[in-house]
Amino acid sequence: MGLFDDLSRFLENRLEEFLRNNPHLELEALLEQLREQEEDTLKLIADLQLQEKRSQEEILSTAQEIQRWHIRVQKAKNANREDLASAAGEREAALLREGNQRWGHMQGLKERINQSQELLHKIQQRRQEVQAKAAEAQTARDNAQTQQRFETSGWSNKTSSSSSGFDDLEEQFRSWETQDELEQMKRNLGK
């Protein structure tokens, strides 16, 4: 197992290094992960809502049964059939307990739906943030490529500019700041 662990660790390290050197790919991977989380959360919400609907139907059915047995209790009492009234009363009480349990279950489902919707909202916000960072990184890459082409053509013309060093520094800081913000978002997402 040591060989496989070493190989796995080596591959993970290489992947992390590759992603650090290509932050736009790291952003794409993070976006894909967020898309999957959003999809899973939407499925969970749909499933919970279906369960809630079934629970509501069960509660309604139980309420109708309670009403039916309550009427029977009254009929038996009016006919002085205490034996039937007592048995019907017990059945009504059992149905009331069952109805209360089902009501509690439905309330739990509603709470889980609310929590899932809050989670979905957070995922969607995070996805928008990452998309904005990805767009910003793409713009930075495009600018860097344009600058590189400009500098390459500048070499052939043998002209130099003192602002070129400043632009390189600006680009380095943008890249570093983007990477730092990405790391911060990943830490926040992991919470």
Q: Which of 176, 128, 189 is nearest to 20 (CA)?
A: 176
Q: What is the pLDDT of residue 35?
A: 92
Helix axes 162-190, 82-157, angle to 10 degrees: 170
pLDDT in tens, 30-49: 888 989 999 999 999 999 99
Alpha-carbon span 181 to 130, nearest angstrom: 10
Instruction: State which H helix or E strand residue 158 sits in.
Output: none
Angstrom distance (rounded) from CA 134 to CA 30: 10
The model's pLDDT over 150-160, given as tens digits with 9 standing for 90+, comes to 766 655 554 44
Residue 160's Cβ-side half-sphere holds a number of Cα atoms within 13 Å equal to 3
Whether residue 20 is predicted with pLDDT greater than 80 in this model: the reply is no
CA 105 and chain centroid, separation: 24
Question: Confidence class of residue 115 from pLDDT cuts 50, 70 and 90?
Answer: very high
Q: Are 30 and 112 in contact (CB under 8 A)?
A: no
Mean pLDDT of 172-179: 82
pLDDT exceeds cutoff 50 at 131: yes
Question: What pLDDT is recorded for position 159?
Answer: 47
Pair of tokens at residue 9:
């660790």
For all residues of the chain together, what is the average pLDDT? 84
**pLDDT tens readout for residues 56-77:** 999 999 999 999 999 999 999 9
Q: Which range among 8-12, 20-24, 124-128, 140-144 shows the weakest confidence by mean pLDDT?
A: 20-24
Closest C-alpha to 113, from 59, 56, 62, 61: 56
